[in-house]
A and B are shown apart, each in its own frame.
Chain A
Amino acid sequence: MTFWRQAVEIARVDLVVERRAGETFRIVLPFSIVALMVFPLALDLQLGIVSTVGIGVFWALGILFGMQVALRQSASDTPERRDLHVLSGVDPAARFTGRALSGGVLMTAYLGLMLVAMAVLFDPELPGGGWPVLLVSTVLVAVGLTELGTLAGEVTTGLRSRTPLASLIVAPLALPLVIGASQSVEAVERDTSILPWILLLIASDLALAVAGVALAKPLEEATQ
């Protein structure tokens, strides 16, 4: 089986498991939307402020709850499943790539739905051309966040404090993604070039992909 065939097969199985578990869309997404709804109430329903800070709230909640998507239980292998991968000769890099692919699909869909919910609830102020940039940034953030989550999830596999520990690892390292995403939309508002911020997002995604593939073998050994 080729590298890409292995990666696609891992991704397919992950998505099937997630469809059955429903962790992302039946638990994390509703919880995130409730959090979006709590925010205007915390601001005493001052809708002008809510509209102004809407995009920022989307990024903050999207990143924080997105970690739950990246670290979902359905993406953590049991020891038996890990052993099966090793004995079947699955390439560790293909396993990382497959996991990142399935996570990327879920994360993009999750952030996309959060974006729709935010647009409906907050009616954010966006200049002309802001929405396409926001969409592109959302996809790039989804990819980076998934890669980070996959790495942190592997490093903390099987630990009692897996979820808070992995979140502590992901949150500070996700800051370049938050900065790139928020500044690209700001750049549209200021009528300056968005290119440096989009390049920052692409560079972060590529760096994480390279780190994940390069460290896939020691990561696999670390979880055994």
Chain B
Amino acid sequence: MTRVRVLMSLAALAVAVGLWFALTAPPDALQGEYARLLGIHPPAMWLAFLAFGVTALGSIMWLVGKRDRWDRLASASAEIGVIFTAIGLFTGMVWGQAVWGTPWDWQDPRLMSTAVMFFVYLAYMALRNAIDDPTVRARRSAILGAIAVVQVPLVYFSVNLFRTLHQTQSIRPDGSTMPDEMLTAMLVNLVAFTILYIALLAARLDVARVEAEAHPHTALAGDAVHPPRLNEVEDV
């Protein structure tokens, strides 16, 4: 618990510093104050990609080693990823309304693929909720977690494959397309959000571990009731 408190304090400090950089960076000549969303939108999506990558890693490691902690890691990371994908989608829509004049463009592959990724991981969480037995839950969700990660490169490279409204990557091997102040604000927030992810993951893992110890397998009412089988009737 002390470890989580330290991490949470660090994360709060890092996010505060990140916000300060985002709010003190000069406004954009074309986008005005909306450019400050650069401090939230790209870091939120980066964090989602990282979280889903960790989910895939945890899933594959569970399939290889069948250790409970890998399943808990995959699950906790997916939950955080879904929340930050929602934040990324929402901030993207606010930004889109301001810059493109519309919050949603059906022809934009980045928007569409991000929404698809969001629903795939909602399905992952729904699958976990539908299974009571911890081993069955871990096994089945590990399979989906290992498959679902293909969405991440699809979302990331969608702007390169199909050019529509959403811009391509601002940081490229040959340099950045942004002014230094904006680039600094975004990079500081990337680091801050990564620390926030580590803190949230540590907290969620602690909760998951306590849950697993307290309720190894809680049977639901009615689980013990089975329909009569033919051979049982014959035996009588």
CB distance from A68 to the nearest CB of B (A): 17
8 Å CB contact of B126 from A151, A168, A175, A219: A168
B139 touches A169 (CB 8 A): no
Instruction: Say yes or no for B144: interface residue by CB 8 A criterion.
Output: yes
Which residues of B sit under 8 angstroms from A159, Cβ to Cβ? Answer: 130-131
Known A-B contacts A172-B119, A175-B112; A215 and B146 likewise in contact (beta carbons under 8 Å): yes
B-contact 0/1 string along A188-224, CB 8 Å cutoff = 0000000000000000000100010001001101100
A-contact 0/1 string along B132-155, CB 8 Å cutoff = 000010011011101100100000
Known A-B contacts A172-B120, A218-B63; A156 and B127 likewise in contact (beta carbons under 8 Å): yes
User: Of all chain A residues, which has the CB nearest B124?
Assistant: A169
User: Of all chain A residues, which has the CB nearest B62?
Assistant: A218
Instruction: Say yes or no for A20: interface residue by CB 8 A criterion.
Output: no
Interface residues on B, range: 20 to 34
Which residues of B sit under 8 angstroms from A172, Cβ to Cβ? Answer: 116-117, 119-120, 123
Residue among B130, B144, B147 having the largest count of chain A Cβ atoms under 10 Å = B147
CB distance from B124 to the nearest CB of A (A): 8
A165 touches B143 (CB 8 A): no
8 Å CB contact of A165 from B120, B126, B146, B147: B126
Specify the main secondary structure of chain B where it touches its partner. Answer: helix
8 Å CB contact of A161 from B130, B142, B144: B130
Measured CA separation A221–B62 after assembly (Å): 13
Interface residues of B in 80-139 (CB under 8 A from A): 112, 116-117, 119-120, 122-123, 126-127, 130-131, 136, 139
Which residues of A sit under 8 angstroms from B147, Cβ to Cβ? Answer: 151, 211, 215
Measured CA separation A222–B71 after assembly (Å): 14
Measured CA separation A221–B142 after assembly (Å): 12
Which residues of B sit under 8 angstroms from A222, Cβ to Cβ? Answer: 136, 139-140, 143
CB distance from B63 to the nearest CB of A (A): 5
Known A-B contacts A165-B126, A169-B127, A175-B112; A155 and B120 likewise in contact (beta carbons under 8 Å): no
A165 touches B127 (CB 8 A): yes
Known A-B contacts A160-B130, A165-B126; A155 and B119 likewise in contact (beta carbons under 8 Å): no
Instruction: Say yes or no for A173: interface residue by CB 8 A criterion.
Output: yes
A155 touches B130 (CB 8 A): no
Instruction: Say yes or no for A171: interface residue by CB 8 A criterion.
Output: yes
Which residues of B sit under 8 angstroms from A160, Cβ to Cβ? Answer: 130
CB distance from B112 to the nearest CB of A (A): 7
Measured CA separation A218–B63 after assembly (Å): 7
Measured CA separation A151–B147 after assembly (Å): 10
A-contact 0/1 string along B175-216, CB 8 Å cutoff = 000000000000000000000000000000000000000000
Measured CA separation A211–B56 after assembly (Å): 14
Known A-B contacts A156-B127, A218-B63, A218-B139; A169 and B144 likewise in contact (beta carbons under 8 Å): yes
Known A-B contacts A175-B112, A221-B139; A168 and B144 likewise in contact (beta carbons under 8 Å): no
Which residues of A sit under 8 angstroms from B146, Cβ to Cβ? Answer: 215
User: Of all chain B residues, which has the CB nearest A219?
Assistant: B143
Measured CA separation A215–B130 after assembly (Å): 21
Which residues of A sit under 8 angstroms from B116, Cβ to Cβ? Answer: 172-173, 175
Measured CA separation A159–B127 after assembly (Å): 9
Measured CA separation A211–B147 after assembly (Å): 7
8 Å CB contact of A207 from B126, B131, B150: B150
Measured CA separation A171–B126 after assembly (Å): 14
Residues of A bordering B, CB below 8 Å: 151, 155-156, 159-161, 165, 168-169, 171-173, 175, 207, 211, 215, 218-219, 221-222
| 17 A–B pairs (Cβ distance < 8 Å), ordered by A | A155-B127, A156-B127, A160-B130, A161-B130, A165-B123, A168-B119, A168-B126, A169-B120, A169-B144, A172-B116, A172-B117, A172-B119, A172-B120, A175-B112, A207-B150, A218-B63, A218-B143
Residues of B bordering A, CB below 8 Å: 63, 112, 116-117, 119-120, 122-123, 126-127, 130-131, 136, 139-140, 142-144, 146-147, 150
A-B contacts besides A159-B130, A169-B120, A173-B120, 6 pairs, CB < 8 Å: A168-B126, A169-B127, A169-B144, A215-B143, A218-B143, A221-B139
The 6 closest A-B pairs by CB, nearest first: A172-B119, A222-B139, A169-B123, A168-B123, A172-B116, A222-B140
